[in-house]
Amino acid sequence: MNDAKARLGYLRQTLGLLYPGPGSPVAHSVLPHALLPRRLAPRRWWHVPLGRRVMVPVDGSIRAHLGDVFGMPIEAILHVRPARRANRKPVLEAYSGGRRIAFVKIGDSPRTRELVNNEAAALKKLADLPLKTVVPPSVLYHGRWRDLAVLALSPLPIRRSKVPQGLLESAVKEIAGTGVGPAWHGDLSPWNIAPSGDGRLLVWDWERYEVGVPYGFDLVHHAFQRSLRRMDPATAARACLAGAVRLLAPLGLSAAQSKQTALRYLIALADRHAADGHEPLGPPDGWLNPIVDHQELLT
């Protein structure tokens, strides 16, 4: 609770949503949920048991800025998450006339500004490529508001269902070919993809897109993230390496290349966590080092 209160206080200062300002303020409620992020929604009479109302000014806020950008009145739902990671950022759902028109990412720190800007550059690049399998969102707006990076993306028509392995492999191949050297999405996790109604793959959250990585990183990342749902990090890492040959064979990698790719991926993931200042899998000496040490003994 203290973490959530601190996060709300932080947003008061950054987004201009939660403190008095010019214009006519609108009453909102902070809606709780056991599984989803806390969020702000327009106040209704049945919200009384949830606590006091939160006054959101119409002017001088990110809503007003987005209204100027889109040329229409904007209502925004703010996703409020505890700030546990260096890369965690505020995300808004922008509505107009009851229709969702954009997801808006806010870069409110040096690291998150870098990620937001990287995603904007990646999506602008992809927009110029003749993609046949992958469907990324479109950049509707990329700019600055106050000292924050703002990226508005088109909402994708998400249909939550299982992604066929063949479709996933085709998407990995297509993404890999978007750079001068092999490229990867960077976070092709199950929660960042969904099949479309026309046989393609909807893919969002491109902030980790990178060129010049080993071919197959995306496929290994997807498998590893799925394993983490049912295994501890050390067991998932061992399973990742053990299953690499079968997993990467459809990409044309040899057994030796597959194992090397999986190992390099795990090391790259640990480096990412170190750069973010957050260790969601625990210290690497508990889940990564034993695998690296074992592989060194075999060579």
Note the residue count of the chain. 299
Looking at residue 70, what is its pLDDT?
Answer: 94
Percent above pLDDT 90 for the chain = 58
- Pick from 39-43, 228-232, 283-287: least confident: 39-43
CA 246 from centroid of its chain's CA atoms? 28
What is the signed CA dihedral for 257, 262, 264, 267, rounded to 10 degrees? Answer: -170
Other Cβ atoms less than 10 A from the Cβ of 155: the count is 16
Q: Which two tokens stand for residue 14?
A: 């950054």
Q: Over the stretch 57-79, which tens digit does the pLDDT of each residue have?
A: 444 688 888 999 999 988 888 77
pTM of this prediction?
0.81
Residues 6+ apart with CB under 8 A from 295: 241, 259, 263
Q: Over the stretch 231-268, which tens digit does the pLDDT of each residue have?
A: 999 999 999 999 999 999 999 999 999 999 999 999 99
- Pairing type for strands 134-135 and 201-203 reads parallel
Residue 13 has pLDDT above 70, yes or no: no
Query: What is the average per-residue pLDDT within 81-85?
Result: 53
Residue 22 has pLDDT above 90, yes or no: no
Looking at residue 245, what is its pLDDT?
Answer: 97
Q: Which two tokens stand for residue 9?
A: 């206080």
